């Protein structure tokens, strides 16, 4: 019951063939990762269990397992939608929070609750629809549902705002029901002193039509603890039966719980098509209080059903940030009813979902890239012929996917993973995902925009035995050639990560896209953030210039590049579209240990920065010193 919240309120490899050490940054990242996950660090073997709670402050959770990753959203109470992802359920505890959407406009902003994201088939293919509850800044009286749509099949976006099914009434906890080819909206609203569940037919994932029908209201005493509440309707299907699991009683009480209603008729719009069971299916137990607002997901191998929910650690905790994220497997009775059992006590080891540790071959969502070697400018290729460097025009891209603890994985379009010395006799190879450290890589920044990749298990650098170091070339000294304190790695061990195709640069603070203002992209046009509008001025191409540096060209006008005004090295100087000549129009990509990136100017060595950490459309972009804050971090998203 959220209306009164204010009351409670990712045979050719030289593995160690040289004695070269990874950079200090990579060493630190490896050490940090190993310290963060001692069980997984044991000989590179994955953890087999997790414990609840997985994550604190995890109210109103929604979780999907999709193409090799768990994706999680939880309530923020701000004007930002947050999403975390990890290849393991336990990894969500330390997963990077990325804001995939934000709002500042009064009719669409504020007090964000209960985000759910659903993959629905459209004429354009599959898209993700995030439905969330929002209101106004001052109070909770204007809470209502809104819907955003993904550009492609990546749950992390970018997203476009589509609309509100019911903008002029109080409605929360929206969910979809697909039945006999028709899409319906389920939600909760007030009728007198009762919070009840309604349904309506939809013409698309953000628009309802026809009558709004009340199908469930509090009837039993166990639904009336604190207040009379039915909310959070969630759908689960089995053997041609459809169940709606809902949350009952006031969330500020320890008796918040789950009930079940079954669709027993042909028409979901008829109240008598729904049968409510007279006893709760999931209630407080084992030191877990108020377990509710749940979701469902399948184990990675599809053999198990899992429950995700929030709960409190004491009777005194209520509808606040004390609610923590919890998960457990559930089963079915002989009568094909869901059997949730009791909440698993905190700290008790729970077996990880089946198939989480593979073997798994799957397409993974992420940035499409090529790995270009510094020694010869060729790309890394690993296939049936082994590992080699080949002409980049013939090399298929990799998907670069962040896992957790500073690690990345590289995945082929066929769903196989780049693995280093998992088998000492085979060296670098492609293999199914087995959740081992030898399948993960740390990225360290080197000089002049180059990077090195260190295997998370062996700490050996990615370097092919057949690679030949180029003859030394005497260079004219300039300010960029001042020797650094750290040793320069061999060229064969250095790479640049080349983004492929059109790329959106999404702020990790707001989820909004770097945009050439007014979509002109002419010289002098400002660079700012704006919500995703599918425009050419929001699509960027990374054009290699020299070493590991790129020009960032807008697809709206490839004759101009993102540049720093007046070639300045001063912090705070504006970033705009301009002439592509000069090192002030060149940028490197810093791959960070949290899976995001910083975009650094070659001349000034300053990074792109979102003014005042703002979330509003048209917030300005300038250059700044590096402060390691969300406003300076970006996601690179390949746009189909």
- Residue 33 banded pLDDT, cuts 50, 70, 90: very low
Each residue of 2-18: pLDDT tens digit? Answer: 433 323 322 233 333 33
Percentage, residues of the chain above pLDDT 90: 81
Each residue of 523-549: pLDDT tens digit? Answer: 999 999 999 999 999 999 999 999 999
pLDDT, mean of residues 604-622:
97
Domain 184-201+215-344 falls under CATH 3.40.228.10: no
Domain 23-43+357-469+488-499 falls under CATH 2.80.10.50: yes
Q: Domain 501-638 class?
A: mainly beta
Each residue of 340-357: pLDDT tens digit? Answer: 999 999 999 999 999 999
**For residue 480, is pLDDT > 80?**
no
pTM: 0.90
**For residue 481, is pLDDT > 70?**
no
Q: Which residues contact 98 (CB under 8 A, 6 or more apart)?
A: 82, 83, 84, 156, 508, 511, 595, 596, 635
Q: Give, in order, the Cα–Cα distances in Å from 527 to each of 513, 516, 619.
A: 10, 5, 9
Catalytic site residue from 64, 116, 223, 231:
231
d(CA 503, CA 298): 31
The pLDDT, as a whole number, for residue 38 is: 31
- Residue 111 banded pLDDT, cuts 50, 70, 90: confident
Q: Is 224 exposed, middle or buried (0-12, 13-18, 19+ CB in 10 A)?
A: middle
Partners of residue 443 on adjacent β-strands: 453
Residue 231 a catalytic site member: yes
pLDDT, mean of residues 573-588:
97
Q: Indicate the range of 108-112, 154-158, 268-272 predicted with least confidence.
A: 108-112
**For residue 476, is pLDDT > 90?**
no
**For residue 24, is pLDDT > 50?**
no
Each residue of 183-207: pLDDT tens digit? Answer: 999 999 999 999 999 999 999 999 9
Q: Which residues contact 334 (CB under 8 A, 6 or more apart)?
A: none
The pLDDT, as a whole number, for residue 468 is: 92
Q: Which residues contact 485 (CB under 8 A, 6 or more apart)?
A: none
Each residue of 154-169: pLDDT tens digit? Answer: 999 999 999 999 999 9
The pLDDT, as a whole number, for residue 42 is: 32
- Residue 419 banded pLDDT, cuts 50, 70, 90: very high
Q: Indicate the range of 126-140, 247-261, 541-555 predicted with least confidence.
A: 126-140
**Rounded (5°) CA angle 86-87-90:** 70
Catalytic site residue from 60, 173, 356, 401:
60
- Give Dmax (Cα) for the chain: 84
d(CA 413, CA 183): 32
Domain boundaries along the sequence of the chain:
23-43+357-469+488-499, 68-170, 184-201+215-344, 501-638
Is 184-201+215-344 in the same CATH topology as 23-43+357-469+488-499? Answer: no
């Amino acid at each position: 019951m959220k209306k009164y919240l204010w009351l409670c309120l990712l045979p050719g490899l030289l593995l160690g063939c040289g004695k070269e050490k990874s950079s200090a940054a990579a060493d630190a990242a490896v050490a940090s990762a190993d310290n963060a996950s001692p069980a997984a660090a044991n000989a590179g073997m994955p953890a087999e269990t997790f414990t609840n709670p997985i994550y604190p402050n995890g109210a109103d959770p929604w979780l999907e397992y999709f193409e090799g990753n768990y994706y999680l959203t939880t309530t923020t109470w701000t004007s930002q939608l947050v999403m975390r992802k990890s290849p393991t359920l336990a990894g969500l505890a330390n997963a990077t929070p990325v804001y995939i959407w934000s709002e500042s406009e009064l009719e669409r902003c504020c007090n964000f609750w209960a985000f759910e994201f659903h993959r629905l088939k459209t004429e354009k293919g599959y898209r993700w629809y995030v439905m969330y509850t929002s209101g106004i800044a001052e109070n909770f009286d204007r809470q209502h549902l809104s819907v955003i749509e993904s550009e492609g099949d990546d749950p992390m976006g970018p997203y476009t705002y589509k609309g509100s099914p019911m903008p002029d009434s109080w409605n929360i906890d929206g969910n979809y029901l697909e039945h006999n080819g028709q899409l319906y909206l389920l939600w909760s609203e007030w009728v007198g002193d009762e919070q009840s569940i309604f349904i309506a037919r939809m013409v698309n994932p953000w628009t309802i039509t026809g009558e709004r029908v009340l199908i469930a209201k509090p009837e039993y005493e166990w639904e009336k603890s604190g207040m009379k509440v039915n909310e959070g309707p969630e759908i689960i299907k089995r053997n041609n039966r459809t169940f709606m699991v809902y949350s009952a009683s006031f969330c500020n009480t320890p008796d918040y719980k789950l009930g079940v209603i079954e669709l027993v008729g042909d028409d979901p719009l008829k109240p008598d098509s729904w049968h409510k069971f007279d006893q709760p299916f999931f209630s407080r137990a084992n030191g877990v209080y108020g377990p509710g607002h749940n979701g469902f997901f399948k184990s990675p191998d599809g053999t198990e059903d899992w429950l995700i929910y929030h709960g409190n650690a004491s009777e005194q905790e209520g509808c606040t940030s004390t609610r923590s994220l919890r998960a457990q497997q559930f089963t079915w009775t002989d009568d094909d009813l869901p059997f949730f059992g009791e909440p698993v006590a905190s700290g008790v080891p729970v077996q990880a979902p089946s198939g989480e540790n593979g073997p798994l071959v799957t397409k993974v969502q992420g940035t499409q890239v090529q790995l270009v070697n510094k020694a010869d400018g060729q790309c890394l290729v690993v296939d049936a012929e082994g590992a080699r460097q080949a002409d980049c025009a013939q090399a298929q891209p990799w998907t670069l996917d962040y896992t957790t603890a500073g690690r990345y994985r590289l995945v082929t379009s066929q769903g196989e993973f780049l693995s280093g010395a998992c088998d000492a006799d085979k060296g670098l190879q492609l293999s199914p995902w087995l959740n081992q450290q030898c399948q993960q890589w740390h990225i360290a920044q080197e000089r002049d925009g180059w990077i090195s990749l260190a295997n998370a298990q062996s700490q050996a650098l990615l370097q092919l035995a057949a690679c030949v170091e180029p003859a030394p070339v005497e260079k004219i000294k300039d300010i960029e050639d001042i020797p650094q304190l750290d040793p320069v790695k061999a060229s064969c061990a250095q790479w640049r990560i080349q983004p492929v195709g059109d790329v959106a640069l999404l702020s990790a603070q707001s989820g909004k896209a770097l945009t050439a203002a007014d979509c002109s992209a002419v010289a002098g046009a400002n660079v700012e953030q704006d919500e995703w509008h599918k425009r050419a001025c929001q699509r960027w191409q990374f054009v290699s210039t020299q070493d590991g540096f790129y020009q960032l060209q807008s697809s709206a006008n490839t004759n101009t590049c993102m540049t720093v005004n007046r070639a300045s090295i001063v912090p705070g100087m504006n970033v705009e579209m301009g002439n592509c000549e000069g090192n002030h129009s060149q940028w490197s990509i810093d791959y960070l240990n949290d899976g995001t990136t910083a975009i650094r100017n070659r001349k000034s060595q300053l990074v792109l920065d979102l003014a005042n950490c703002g979330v509003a459309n048209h917030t300005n972009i300038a250059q700044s010193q590096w402060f390691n804050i969300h406003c300076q971090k970006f996601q690179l998203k390949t746009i189909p």
